Each structure stands twice: as structure tokens, then as C-alpha cells.
Structure 1
Amino acid sequence: MSDLAILINTAIAVSAVVLMIVRFKFNPVVSLVVGSAYLGLTSGLGTAKTVETIATGFGDIMAEVGLLISFGVLMGAMLREMGAIQRLVGTLLRVFGPKRMPYALSLTIATLLQSIFLDVLLVISAPLARNLAPKIGRMGTARMATALAIGLECGIVLMVPGVGALALAGLLGVPLGKMLIFGLILVIPTVAISVAIMSFLFTHGWWNPEKDEEHFHQTVVDDEDEDATPDGGVGASSPRPVPGRSVAQAERTSTSLRPTTDNDVVTRHEGRLIVLLAPLLVSLLLIATGAILDIADVSNPVIDFVSEPLIALLIGLIGTSFIGRLTIGQHRVQKAIASGFSESGQILILTGVGGSLAATIAAVGLGDILGQYFAANHAAPLLMVWVMAAALHIAVGSVTISAITAAGVLAPVAPIIGLDPVLIALAAGAGSLFAVHVTSNTFWLLQSLMGQTTRGTLKTCSVGVSVASVVAILLILPMSLFF
């Protein structure tokens, strides 16, 4: 089959996936499998080979990241049940103060809390951010909402153990330790620069509280009314209804934040927080250590074993489970695990069928065709994968689907032109962040939980995360000159 026919069939397959999801409201899993089948059959693979490629692609990526995603989500579910996020935000407030909280919160969410399912992390952290907003000033709501949006979305695709980052690493065969290190190098400046840009815009007239914020009573507690709770150092307040939420929902997620004046209590609470997060931190440290030793060509059997991502996350999961039993009891740990299994199911299936489409694209020889055009140019494929992921995200509204699909198209190019696959993974992740809008659940959750109008959410979420997307690719391009 001619190269032109393969290019046309690939374009039709990807377009058909988008059309089925957007126009005909098919499930993304079904759409991706149909697109894979069409591409295989029309590009000369034949019936048997097409089915085999789809099944093998699903199985290969599950073998790479299936357990990793499951372990990460389960760990996050238990941390959520133990109230680790509330305690962490309270500690950040004490350490950095209100004015620096947008940076502290966004960087912490992007780097440390990605094992927690995105929607759950948002529902827990948004009420805390909303309570902090009045302390920051007139633009507090805008700055905190933007910080949340940027931290959440960047972390999921750029930082291990975010489910998008895990899927991209598995799809492109990137060692997880390498993905962790490169993601960390990229996500910290991306988040910090993006939050700074948006803060500058907001403080120079781009935010109108009268038009961009919903007017309701904030759940704020005066310092003299604050009373630290026994388990987190954060006092609970009586929540008022937020647009789009019931009082019961507000009671479950609304927590007021006040630094306590009792130094002994502060020390105890921060000590407890370190204990809660210790297994997760140990897991990430082990993975990073393995990657560093691999780069240095140093080998030790014991370290090699425990630094394997699967074993490192298993150690973290066991440690978190043990701490959970001591702090919240076996019943609540089992409840959290059941919730984690429910959350991870859809992620695993979607990731797997994304691998099926990528495997089919590789099998029809698209990599050889594109490699002829790109030659030794590293910038062109990175820009192409960014643009493709951005376009797919605008159409489909799913960060994960757009990143996996775009990376799958360009994955075969990397070995041909000597481009490090981790750069393609990061470029696909960066592109998938562009234009988070009304098709995204994150958009509407941020609107209701942060008390914004649709106009305000378009500024904080859509524009804010798009700025992060552009900043990320502008940082990735220079990286390609050295790696």
C-alpha cells in the first residue's frame, strides 16, 4: 500500500474516533477500538493481524502500567480517607503564608498528590482553596482557582504517578524513573511560570469580581473562632451552600484553614502529616534513585529490586495501608480500597485501548513514512505531537485520550530519528493541556466549587491551563537539543 494511502487512512481513523465521541456520543473505549480496527483493515494488515494487533497493544500497555496505575490510585484513595490533603494544605499555609499559597498549592498538587484521582483531589482541595482566597486579596479567587487548575492538569500528564504520565511512559517504553525525573524538571518551572503569568494578568485588570465570581457567602472563619481539630490542626466550619452543591456535599468537603498558635500542636500535626505521606515519598524516592543509578551505570541487586517502579509503588501501598489501619481503622481502609478499585477501572480500560490504537499505527508503518519527512529534525515532531494533542483535546475534551492518541501517532518516529521518547511523551502531555473548556468535568467542578461564573472559569481554567501548555512546549524544545 502506498505511503499516501496509509497517511490518509490514519487521518480518517483519528478523525472517526473524534467524530464518534463528539458527534455521536459513543464511549471513548468503543471509539478507539473501532478506529484501530478501521486503520488495520484499510491499511493491509488483514483481519487476523488487525485483531491480534489490537489485543496485543492492549495487553502490552497493561503489562507496562496496569499495576502501577492501580497501586497509585489505591494509595491515593487511602490518603484521601485519612485526610492527608487537608493537613497538607494547613501545613503549606503555616509555612508559606497566604500570599504564596497559589504557588505552594499548585506545585504540591502537581508533584506530590498525583496518586489521587483528579476529580476527587479537586473536590477535596477546592473548598480549602476557596476559604484561603479572601486572605490573598481581591484577586484571591482568581489566583487560587488558576493555581488549582494548572497544578491538577499539569500533574496528571507530566508527573509520575499521574495516570496520564504513567500511560504515556508505558506507551512509549520510557523507564518510569526517567519519566519521573524529566517530568519533575519540566513541571516545576511550567507551573511556577504559568501561575506567575496569570497572577500578573489578574492583578492588571483582567479579572472583574463582579462579573467573574458568583456572589455567595464564603466559608471563612475568623482567627479568634478557630479551633484545631484533634486529627488535622484544621478547624471545621459550618459550610454554606455553594452553587451546584447540596449542603450535605458542602459539609463533606468544606474545611476552614487557620494556623494554630499552639507550637506543640503544630509540631504534632506536621509530624503526623509526614507519617501519612512517608510511604508515598519513599516510593517516589526509590523510583528516582533507580533512575539516577541507571544513568550513572551503578548496579546493586537489592537497590535494583526495590527501585523497580512496580516494587517501589507496592512498598508505598503496603506502607500506606499499614498507617491507615493505625489511624482510621481497618473498615475505612477497606472502604477506601473499594473506592480506589472503582476509580481505576475506567482509567485502565481507556489506557489499554489507547495502546491498541498506538500499536495499530505502528504496525501499518506510519513511523517509517513520517521519519522520512522529519529526518534529523527534533523540533518538528515535538511540535507536531503538541499540535495534534491540542487539536484532539479541543475536539474530544479528554486530556488522557488526546495525549495517548497523539503520542501513539508519533511514537514510531523516535527511534528512526534518534529522538528520546520521553520528549515525545512530555510534548504529547503538554499539548493535551491546551484549551480545557466546557467539555471537561474539571471545568465545571472548578466553576461550582470555587464560586466562579462561566466567564471567570474560562479565564482561570481554560486560559490558565492553555498558558501552561504553551510554556511547557517552549521548555521542551530546548531540552531536545541536549537529550
Structure 2
Amino acid sequence: MSDTAVVINTAVAIIAVVVMIVRFKFNPVVSLVVGSAYLGLAVGLGVQETIDAIMTGFGDIMAEVGLLIGFGVLMGAILQRTGAIQRLVQTLLNVFGAKRMPYAMSLTIATLLQSIFLDVLLVISAPLARSLAKKIGKNGTARMAAAMAISLECGIVLTVPGVGALALAGLLGVPLGKMLLFGVLLVIPTVAIAVAIMSFLFNRGWWNPERDEQTFLGEDDEPLGNDVDTAAATVDSDGPGGAGGALATKTVTATKAQTPLIVLFAPMIASLLLIATGAILDAADIHSPIIKFVSSPVIALLIGLIGTSFVGRYSLGTEPIQKAIATGFKESGQILILTGVGGSLAATIKAAGLGDILGEYFTASTAAPLLVVWVIAAALHVAVGSVTISAITSAGILAPIAPIIGLDPVLIALAAGAGSLFAVHVTSNTFWLLQSLLGQSTRGTLKTVTVGVSVASVVAILLILPMSLFF
């Protein structure tokens, strides 16, 4: 099959998935599988190879992030049940105020909580974002969802020790200290400007709660934390008290108040620090079997989950924590299925060979090399749905000639990272995680994630170009 036919059929498959979900209200899982099946057959993979791509894509993404998502959701459910999320909301509100929350949270995530493993940070911080959205009021869900998407995606490719940033630095021979410095200098204005632009659009009528939001799983059936929130005077209430009645609720709240906030979050913070330590030591070529084991994402999150469970039991007792874990399992099922079928479509696109086709059409241009690497990364990301892969591939095209044309490799790394952010869409498991965890419809997620992160991508390259004049 010709390259043109592959490109056209891939575009048709992606558009069809979006239309089925947005226009005809098909379930996203069904739509993604149908789109994957169409693409595989249309480009000539054959029946068996198409089925293999769908199954392998699902299995590969589950092997990569399945346990991470499960552990993260469970940890978040326990923190929500203990009231830790609500108390942190109130603390942040007291410090920054409601109107500044999208900026405060997005800049914190992009600079201080670098997305070493984006899915982990997302599932842990999503309950906080949902609670903050209620405090903000009008367009709260839209503003917090866009802020989350922009900061999470920018952090992973622009800020060390994000996995994308580490990979780009290694590929182009950029010292980690230099990558960290330039990345922070870029990511702060990029995130702030992109969040401001999206907030402007939402406040000018580009968000319709009736069509762009949906009930978050768990809100209608045993809301997360409902039996610990009601009697707390300084935190939100998601609903009436639990079965324990007023006396039990007051007792739980009093117990919760005695547990310092830092203690409740300590296991989660420790798990993220373990992951960060492992990534940094690995990048520095320092190896230790013990550190490698405890800093691996699955083990680090397991340690965090066990620690959070013990702290939760100390704070509330065994029964409320068991209920929280049960609710977390109920949440994670939908999230895992959506994430997996997103991997199926991405795998089918990869099997169709679109990434290789696009790579042949683009060559380095001495006139505008940074724009070229941005365009290549953007095109590859639209095709294969992987931020990290598209960034590395595009940077690799210009890496050999960087010394000849006089470009600092760190600028190529940043341009590749910026381009890889363009058009995060239905092939990305992050898209579906944000849709599920933040209570958005698919239509709403296309606005907050696809458009929001694309705005950040464009802002970033517009900031990188003048930087190239001085470095």
C-alpha cells in the first residue's frame, strides 16, 4: 500500500473514533477498538496481524502502567477518605486564593513534582484537582483539567527528571544540570501563559458544563470521603454523613484533625522521591541493586500504598480504609480499560508504519532547524500518540548535524520536547486518564487536553526561538 493511503487511512481512523464518541455517543472503549480494527484492515495488515496489534497494544500498556495506575488510584482513594486531600485544598486556598489555584497547582507540578512517571502523578493529584475545581466555581473543572494536562505533559519532556527530558538529554549529550536549568526557564512561562490563554477561552463561553462534564465515577455511589467530610468545618462536604451517623462522623473528624497533614502525605511523597532518586542515579550511571529495586516505580508505589494504608488505619481505623480501597478498585477498572484500548490504537498505528513514513518526508533545514524539529515531533506525536517516542525520534534527526549548524543541543532537545506536546488526543492513555479522573466528557477533554496542551506546545516553541539568538 502506498504511503499516501496509509496516511489517509490513519487520519480517517482517528477522525472516526472522535466522531463516534462525540457525535454518536458511542462508548470510548468500543470506538477505540473499532477504529483500531478499521485501520489494521484498511492498511493491509490482515486479520491476524490486526488482532495481534490490538491485543498486544492493550497488553503492553497494561504491563507498563497497569499496576502503577492501580496503586496510585488506591493511594488517592485512601488519602481522600482520610480527608488529607480536602485539608490540602484548604491550605492551598488559604495561601493562594481560589482564582490563582490553576496557576499554583500547574507550576508546582511542572517544576517541583516533575512527571517522572506521568500516570502516577496524575492519579495521585486528580482528587486534589477535582476538589479545587469546586472551590474555583464557574469553569472550575475546565480550568483545573487544562492546568493539570498542561503541567503534566510539559513536565515530562521539559523538566529534569521527567523521563522525556532525561531521554532527550542523554540522546543529545546535554548535561543534566544544563537541561534542568534551561527546562525550568522554559517551562515556567510556558505553563503560566498556556493556562492563562485557556482560562481566557473558558471564561469567554468556550465551556459548556452540560456537554463538557460528566459525573465522576463514585460521586453518585458512595462519594470518596463522604463519611469524613461532613462535620469538618474547614473542608468541603461531598455529601451526607456515612452510616456511622453524626457521632461517628464527628469522632472520625476529630481523629483526622489530630494527624498532621505531612504525616498523611509522607508515604506518597516518599514513593515519589524513591522514583526520582532512581531516575537521577541511573542517569548519573550510579547503580545499586537495592536502590534499583526500591526505586522501581511499581515497588516504590507499593511502598507508598502500604505506608498510606497504615497511616490511614492509624487515623481512621480499619473499616473506613477498607471501604476506600474497595472504592478505589471500582474506579481503577474503568480507567484501566480506557487506558488499554488507547494503547491498542497506538499499537495499530505503529504497525501500519506511519511513523517511518513521516520520518522520510522531513529533513533537517539549516534555515529553521528548530522549527523543523518541532514540526517533526508534532507530526510523529499525532501519528503514534507517544510524547517520549516522538520527542526522541525528532531530536535524533538533527542530533548529528547540531555541531555543524552551530545550534546548542539543549535547544534541539527543548524544541523536540515542545513539538511532542502538540495534539495529545485519543491515542494517548493520558487523554483517557484525564477524561476519567477529572469528570469530563470526551468533548470536554478534547478542549482541555488536546487544545490546552497544543497551546502550550506552540507557546514553548515561540519562546525557544528567541532563546536561540542568545545561546
Distance in 2 between residues matched to 1:174 and 1:357, nearest whole Å: 29
Contact 1:58 1:353 in 2 (8 A): yes
Give the stretch that moved more between structures: 408-417 or 14-23: 408-417
Distance in 2 between residues matched to 1:24 and 1:251, nearest whole Å: 36
Cα deviations across residues 404-423 of structure 1 (Å, max 9, x unaligned)?
85769968955973789998
- How far apart are 1:351 and its partner, in Å? 1.3
Partner of 1:49: 49
Distance in 2 between residues matched to 1:275 and 1:14, nearest whole Å: 45
- How far apart are 1:152 and its partner, in Å? 3.4
Of residues 337, 346, 353, the one that matches 2:325 is 337
Classify 1:154/1:54 alpha carbon distance in 2 versus 1 (closer, same or farther; 3 Å): same
Classify 1:146/1:5 alpha carbon distance in 2 versus 1 (closer, same or farther; 3 Å): closer
Q: Check if 1:124 corresponds to 2:112.
A: no
- Aligned pairs (5 A) from 1:58-457: 58-93=58-93, 95=95, 103-107=103-107, 114-116=122-124, 118=126, 120-129=127-136, 148-155=144-151, 157=153, 185=184, 189-194=189-194, 236=233, 249=238, 272-376=260-364, 377-384=372-379, 388=382, 405=385, 417=397, 431-432=423-424
- How far apart are 1:272 and its partner, in Å? 0.8
Distance in 2 between residues matched to 1:7 and 1:382, nearest whole Å: 16
Cα deviations across residues 418-444 of structure 1 (Å, max 9, x unaligned)?
7899987875656349xxxxxx989x9
Distance in 2 between residues matched to 1:251 and 1:157, nearest whole Å: 36
- Aligned pairs (5 A) from 1:440-479: 469-475=454-460
Q: Check if 1:31 corresponds to 2:19.
A: no
Contact 2:43 2:352 in 1 (8 A): yes
Classify 1:359/1:196 alpha carbon distance in 2 versus 1 (closer, same or farther; 3 Å): closer
Contact 1:36 1:360 in 2 (8 A): yes
Classify 1:85/1:290 alpha carbon distance in 2 versus 1 (closer, same or farther; 3 Å): same
2:260 is paired with a residue whose SS is: helix
Contact 2:102 2:143 in 1 (8 A): yes
Distance in 2 between residues matched to 1:238 and 1:301, nearest whole Å: 43
Aligned length: 380
- How far apart are 1:463 and its partner, in Å? 8.8
1:115 is paired with a residue whose SS is: helix
2:122 is paired with a residue whose SS is: coil
- How far apart are 1:153 and its partner, in Å? 3.5
- How far apart are 1:478 and its partner, in Å? 6.8
Report the AA paired with residue 312 of structure 1: A
User: What residue ranges of structure 1 are gaps of 5+ in the alignment?
Assistant: 131-140, 161-165, 213-230, 240-247, 253-267, 390-403, 434-439, 447-457
Contact 1:382 1:477 in 2 (8 A): no
Cα deviations across residues 75-99 of structure 1 (Å, max 9, x unaligned)?
1111111111222133335555788
Contact 1:414 1:421 in 2 (8 A): no
Distance in 2 between residues matched to 1:426 and 1:340, nearest whole Å: 34
Contact 2:313 2:321 in 1 (8 A): yes
Contact 2:55 2:344 in 1 (8 A): yes
Report the AA paired with residue 27 of structure 2: N
Report the AA paired with residue 192 of structure 2: A
Classify 1:101/1:408 alpha carbon distance in 2 versus 1 (closer, same or farther; 3 Å): closer
Contact 2:89 2:131 in 1 (8 A): no
User: What residue ranges of structure 2 are gaps of 5+ in the alignment?
Assistant: 114-120, 157-161, 171-175, 209-227, 242-255, 365-371, 400-411, 426-433
2:88 is paired with a residue whose SS is: helix
Contact 2:378 2:422 in 1 (8 A): no
Report the AA paired with residue 122 of structure 2: Q
2:307 is paired with a residue whose SS is: helix
Report the AA paired with residue 4 of structure 2: L
Aligned-pair identity in percent equals 51
- How far apart are 1:287 and its partner, in Å? 1.1
Give the stretch that moved more between structures: 288-297 or 270-279: 270-279
Distance in 2 between residues matched to 1:422 and 1:353, nearest whole Å: 30
TM-score by length of 2: 0.64
Classify 1:289/1:81 alpha carbon distance in 2 versus 1 (closer, same or farther; 3 Å): same
What is the root-mean-square deviation in Å for CA atoms of aligned residues?
5.0
Contact 1:80 1:116 in 2 (8 A): no
Give the stretch that moved more between structures: 87-96 or 60-69: 87-96
Contact 2:133 2:144 in 1 (8 A): yes
Distance in 2 between residues matched to 1:325 and 1:351, nearest whole Å: 31
Contact 1:150 1:191 in 2 (8 A): no
- How far apart are 1:350 and its partner, in Å? 1.3
